[in-house]
Amino acid sequence: MLLPVISVLILELCSLAKKSSQCVMLSRTHGQPASPTTFGKEIAVFAQRLMDRFEKLKKVRFAGKLNGAVGNYNAFVAAFPEIDWIKETKQFVRKMGLEPIVATTQIVPHESYSDFFYLISSINNIVLSLNQDLWLYLSYGYLELQTEEEEVGSSTMPHKRNPKDLENSEGNLEIANSLLKLLIFRLQRNRMQRDLSDSTIKRNYGVALAHSILGYKRTISAIKRIRINSEKMLQDLLNHPEVFSEALQVLLRKEGSENAYFQVMKFVKNKN
């Protein structure tokens, strides 16, 4: 369930990036107008980041063990001393789709689970950042949400088209990451051979992953409803010709102009 929905999200982003590759707009650094970009390129950044995490997630193999009550093969050797138990149990554990760990206590070390949950939390952070950027683009008028004819956008303001999918996704992913953070750091700690303090915590694996999946689905829903206002994007860029000063000062440096940066700055800073 987890991998397929992340795959759909990446495909939706790739499609949106391709569709909007020629939609020129202002970029924004520190929230301020900056050098031109395209909406497609900005979305492609998120697709690339998610693909990197996705490929790593697919390669995760959880650890497993089959070595007795305290990890020493005691009873196995007592019953069948002629068998090479380390070799046999390694093969058995691998057949179960797990990565065998030879040296363990009563429980298998949890590093592989921590690595897995870290990757999920990293994916969640990327999607959270995507949600927030799309939310801001909507507030700038660069994007519009397509809504159904009778769909209510606000309880009191009929004109509203609130980005509720993005906001719902944000809330779900924040809940997920709060649980994942606990899992990442807590699971690696145990007293001696084992204790049960992590038992209740482990029962929340599904809760953290479920909130993650809900978050991805709501983001996918929002992306499918986006309409790009390329005219607004272009007009906003044309209203800020000062952002071309980056290229201008580089060209002046190329031509050997001294103090090119400051020459350009005095003509553009605090001016439009």
Cα gap 46→12, rounded to integer Å: 11
99-100 and 63-64 as β-strands: parallel, antiparallel, unpaired? Answer: parallel
The amino acid that residue 132 corresponds to is Q
- Number of Cβ within a 10 Å radius of residue 93: 20
Is 154 in the active site? Answer: yes
Cα gap 66→78, rounded to integer Å: 15
Cα gap 183→207, rounded to integer Å: 11
Q: Evaluate whether 35 touches 245 at the Cβ level (below 8 Å).
A: no
Is 30 in the active site? Answer: yes
The helix (H) or strand (E) run that includes residue 69 is: none
Cα gap 193→70, rounded to integer Å: 7
Of 35, 154, 178, 257, the catalytic one is: 154
The helix (H) or strand (E) run that includes residue 100 is: strand 99-100
Across-strand partners of 145? 226
**Active-site residue set:** 30, 154
